[in-house]
Amino acid sequence: MVNTQTTPHGRLKQSPFLPDMAEIVRKERLNPTETLYVLRLTDGAELGHAPGQFVEVSVFGVGEAPFSISSSPTRGGEFELCIRRVGDVTTAMERLGIGAKLGVRGPLGRGFPLDVMRGNDVLIIAGGLGIVPLRSLIGTVIDERADFAEVTILYGCKSPAEMLFKDEIAAWEAREDIDFRVTTDIADPSWKGNVGPVTTLFRRLTVNPKTTVPVMVGPPVMFKHVVKQVLAVGIPEDRIILSLERRMKCGIGECGHCQINGVYVCQDGPVFTYAELKRLEEAML
Residues that bind other proteins (CB under 8 A): 2-3, 5, 13-19, 21, 58, 60-65, 84, 86-87, 90, 101, 103, 219-220, 245-247, 249-250, 252-262, 281-282, 284
> Cα angle vertex 16, ends 12, 17, to 5°?
120
Q: Is the dihedral of CA 38, 162, 33, 57 positive or negative?
A: negative
Q: Minimum distance from CB of 256 to other proteins (Å)?
A: 3
Nearer to other proteins, 110 or 257 (CB): 257
Instruction: State the Cα–Cα distance between residues 67 and 56, nearest whole angstrom.
Output: 6
Name the phi and psi angles at 176, rounded to 5. Answer: -80, -25
Nearer to other proteins, 16 or 234 (CB): 16
Name the phi and psi angles at 3, rounded to 5. Answer: -90, 135
Nearer to other proteins, 143 or 254 (CB): 254
Closest Cα partner for 223 from 86, 128, 132? 128
Nearer to other proteins, 86 or 186 (CB): 86
Nearer to other proteins, 119 or 256 (CB): 256
Q: Minimum distance from CB of 70 to other proteins (Å)?
A: 16
Q: Please name the residue ranges forming H helices in the chain.
A: 88-95, 114-117, 131-143, 166-174, 198-203, 220-232, 265-268, 274-277
Which amino acid is located at 274 in the chain?
Y
For the chain, how big is the Rg over CA atoms in Å?
19
Q: Minimum distance from CB of 212 to other proteins (Å)?
A: 29
Q: Minimum distance from CB of 83 to other proteins (Å)?
A: 10
Eight-state DSSP code of residue 119? T
Q: Minimum distance from CB of 283 to other proteins (Å)?
A: 9
Nearer to other proteins, 63 or 193 (CB): 63
Q: Minimum distance from CB of 33 to other proteins (Å)?
A: 11
Name the phi and psi angles at 8, rounded to 5. Answer: -55, -25
